[in-house]
Amino acid sequence: MATAAALAGMPLALRQELTRETSFVLFSAGQRQLVAAVQEHIFPHEPDSPGAKDINALAYLEWAITAPGIDPDTRNIIVNGVGRLQDASRERSDIPFGDLSFDQTERLLRYLADKTRWGRAWLSLVLYYVFEALLSDPVYGGNPGKIGWRWLQHQPGFPRPPADKIYGRLG
Amino acid sequence: MIDCDVCVIGSGAGGGPVALTLAEAGFSVVVLEKGPWFTEQDFYKDEIACCRRNTYSRNLQEEFHVVEERDKNNGWVTKPTYDSSWDLWNGNMVGGSTNLMSGFFHRLKPRDFRLLSEFGAIDGANIADWPISYGDLEPYYTKVEHEVGISGRVVDHPNLEPRSTRDYPFRATAEHPVAAWFDETCKTESLHSIPVARAILPGQLNGRGGCQYSGYCGSYGCSTGAKGSSRAALLNRAVATGNCDIRPNSHVYRLISDAGGRVVSAGYYDKKGAAELIRAEIFVVACQAVETSRLLLLSQGPRHPNGLANNHGQVGKNLLFTTGGGGTGSFGYSKLNRKKAAALKVRGPFVNRALQDWYFIDNDEMGRMKGGTIDFLFRHPNPIGQANRQKWESDRLLWGTPLKQKLKSYFTDARYLRFEVFADWLPNDDCNVALDGNFTDKWGSPVARVKIGDHPHNAKVSRYLGRKGYRMLKAMGADSASWGLSSKPPGILLAGGCRFGIDPNLSVLDRNCRAHDVENLYVTDGSFMPTGGSVPHTWTIYANSFRVADQILSELGGSKPAIN
């Protein structure tokens, strides 16, 4: 769903490039650091509200893109985007992404979202999974202690899913 | 030599009534359902499983459709659904999409059965009268109220359809305080507030629990059995007779017919992918509109070289979607007094209100024509979907503090009342199902190619009704409201494709939904409908399936005597 929206209207060649099959199994330590930094930048911790780290956004994303039945395009876009972000950072500022200041990060991400189609699709999808980590049932590993629901005064439905009846374990 | 008396393919609103009726009458019934068999113990209020993944759908890489739709230049663009935002699978499980419906239940009106005679032809549309009347279906609408369990409260209004009973058999589900605001506004606006009947039980019945008012209903499976799914309300009872065998994960790929044109068996793949065959006296197809037409087209035979029941080239024609659009009004808590704000925040009970003041239109602005229904409901509470819609500020992706402030305000400052417009989707030559010439599914069968062309009249009526819905929200005191036409129809609530009629040259099924040229083949899902009406189809599909079940029973010679 979110992937289709992110890819909508994109030229076929770019789309094929972004969804190129990856041999992804797990993020490397460096990739984890980069993804966590992007997540925290776009969804920062603030005194009265949780940030990406508070909602386990990185671990959630890793689960989401390796879960059985995941749309391969989704996984490929996320994974390929990590490499592209590294390249873009070096190309535009000669500085590895991890060494950018807050303002430099903001300028780079803003450029990528506003001026590049891949960057827009990638950031939009990374943000989507931040929302899942914020607002899905805590049984999936995000939203610890219902922190996201409490922040937005969201009243969940009931009954809530037990661990043996979540997505991937039904049917 | 047969394996069962009746083989039913598909287990939703079209399959359930036939299975129950015949199993109760003592006939052996096998129901083949391509999806899994979930029960109340599998349904939780889990947005990920329900709505963000394809738990109840198919893997689009393996099974998909090809959609042909108009592009911006009025040409046609064709894409497989794994490569687009379309997903035409809907509720692939025992009980079908009735497990996931909201259960807003409306009957058609008598004039819906004779739309052509009443309102005349429209250029470019294939409008047809039905071969049966409202009077033929009324006893079955009433039967559904009892068998499926419909709750509500009948109030008199100008477009109330004739009823053989005074009221619904089950009291209305609990109403949200906003329903009273709606009623008051209707009085001042001289409109008729209609309490919407729901296929939801307010209390226990036959082992089913009553509604728990969790606030999550549509799109979700029901954890108590209160929702009148074909599974909870009908199939469980059919199984309990001992005469009905439900086989989940059974994908029927072909109906095999003999030299005389009769269907003799259904070929299907079981959960492990093994090919199986089942022989029956009578076959009933109810796979939802697209897949029903596809299965018939895939089932060529000696007397059916172009597909089963397709000797006149009518299978797949006149596919129907629903037309409409909708709108949303925002009611900010800060603009209400404390009591009203607290009332608005109540979660759980239903709005259950609709307007049908414009079900038929006759005025200077529009002339005389068929109109439709406007249903009112709260915006769906799924938080992930709602949050994701907040990330764009016009065309700019938001993040950081501005995004978080927007989220906080959206979720905590207001509640959102929506309306949905239901108007007729006019049948036309550009809306149909065929077999695709290029793509096949994982079993090697051609996939359905679905052409989705709408008639400009749809938008004209929907726009008129949309403006009325918008005015209602404003009259109720919405701080801001907006509405719009959908750019494409929803991929649910499909009908048509095998219309019933008198003339075999223009229809697939006879008035009893038996194929004109296949004596032991019936179609009982929404495929039979020549026109869709301007309400959700489900009640009508249930009712018609009970009607056809009685015909099949009569053909089989009535109930089998019980053997003690």
B150-203 residue pLDDT tens: 999 999 999 999 999 999 999 999 999 999 999 999 999 999 999 999 999 999
Measured between alpha carbons, how far is residue A154 from residues A50, B315, B412, B415 in Å? Answer: 14, 47, 8, 12
Strand partners, B266: B255, B278
User: Which residues lie closer than 8 Å to B481 by C-beta, 6 or more apart?
Assistant: B327, B328, B329, B330, B470, B473, B474
| Three-state secondary structure call for residue B268 | strand
In B145-262, where does DSSP find H-type helix? 178-188, 236-240
Name the residue among A117, A151, A120 with its Cα closest to residue A133: A151
Q: What pLDDT score does A17 carry?
A: 81
pLDDT, position B439? 97
Tell me the C-alpha distance between A87 and A104, whole Å.
15
Average of pLDDT values for A1-18? 78
Residue pLDDT, tens place only, B65-116: 999 999 989 899 999 998 888 999 999 999 999 999 999 999 999 999 999 9
- Predicted confidence at residue B488, as pLDDT, reads 87
The closest CB to that of A46, out of B44, B404, B411, belongs to B404
**Complex ipTM over 0.85:** yes
Compute chain B's Rg from CA coordinates: 23
Whether B265 has a pLDDT exceeding 70, the answer reads: yes
Token pair for B531: 């026109």
Identify the CA nearest to B360 among candidates B206, B167, B159: B159
Mind telling me how many Å the CA of B388 is from chain A's nearest CA? 6
CA nearest to B271 within chain A: A171
Q: Give the pLDDT band of residue B487 (cuts 50, 70, 90).
A: confident
- Decide if A170 touches B, using CB distance below 8 A: yes
Provide the residue type at B479 as one letter: D
Residue B103: the pLDDT is 97
- In this predicted model, what pLDDT tens digit does every residue of A46-73 receive, in sequence order? 999 999 999 999 999 999 999 887 888 8
What interhelical angle do A72-93 and A117-135 show, nearest 10? 120
What is the spatial distance between Cα B200 and Cα B183, in angstroms, rounded to a whole number? 22
- The residue ranges of DSSP E strands in A17-168, in sequence order, are none
Q: Report CB contact under 8 Å: A157, B391.
A: no
pLDDT at B564 over 60: no
Per-residue pLDDT band for B476 (boundaries 50, 70, 90) equals very high
Say which amino acid occupies B136.
D
Q: How far is B229 from chain A (nearest CA, A)?
A: 18
Cis peptide before A159, with omega less than 30 degrees from 0? yes
Ramachandran sector of residue B558 (left: φ over 0; alpha: ψ -120 to 50; beta: rest): left
Q: Spell out a b/e string for B352-373, using b for 16 or more CB atoms within 10 Å of the CB, else e.
A: bbbbbbbbbbeeeeeeebbbbb
Give the model confidence (pLDDT) of B298-344 as tens digits: 999 999 999 999 999 999 999 999 987 899 999 999 999 999 999 99
Residues in A 101-120 with any Cβ partner in B closer than 8 A: 106, 109, 113-114, 120
Give the whole-angstrom CA distance, residue A61 versus residue A66. Answer: 9
> Does the structure show a pLDDT above 70 at B3?
yes
Cβ within 8 Å, pair A41-B399: yes
**Is A4 in Cβ contact with B53 (below 8 Å)?**
no
Chain B residues lying within 8 Å of A109, measured CB to CB: 399
Q: Which residues of A touch B93 (CB under 8 A)?
A: 171
Residue of chain A whose alpha carbon sits nearest to that of B346? A155
- Label the pairing between strands B317-320 and B495-497: antiparallel
Amino acid at A3: T
State yes or no: pLDDT of A2 exceeds 90.
Answer: no
pLDDT tier for residue A1 given thresholds of 50, 70 and 90: low
Burial degree of B491 (CB within 10 A; 0-12, 13-18, 19+): buried
- Per-residue model confidence (pLDDT) at position A122: 97
B97, B90 Cβ separation under 8 angstroms? yes
Residues of chain A found within 8 Å of residue B38, distances taken between Cβ atoms: 170-171
Residues B148/B94, Cβ–Cβ less than 8 Å: no
B384 CB neighbours in chain A (<8 A) are 131-132, 135-136
Contacts of A120 in chain B (CB under 8 A): 397
- Among B289, B539, B538, B563, which Cα is nearest to B432's? B289
Residue found by looking up tokens 């969940």 in the block = A156
CB contact under 8 A, B383 and A149: yes
Per-residue pLDDT tens for B394-404? 999 999 999 99
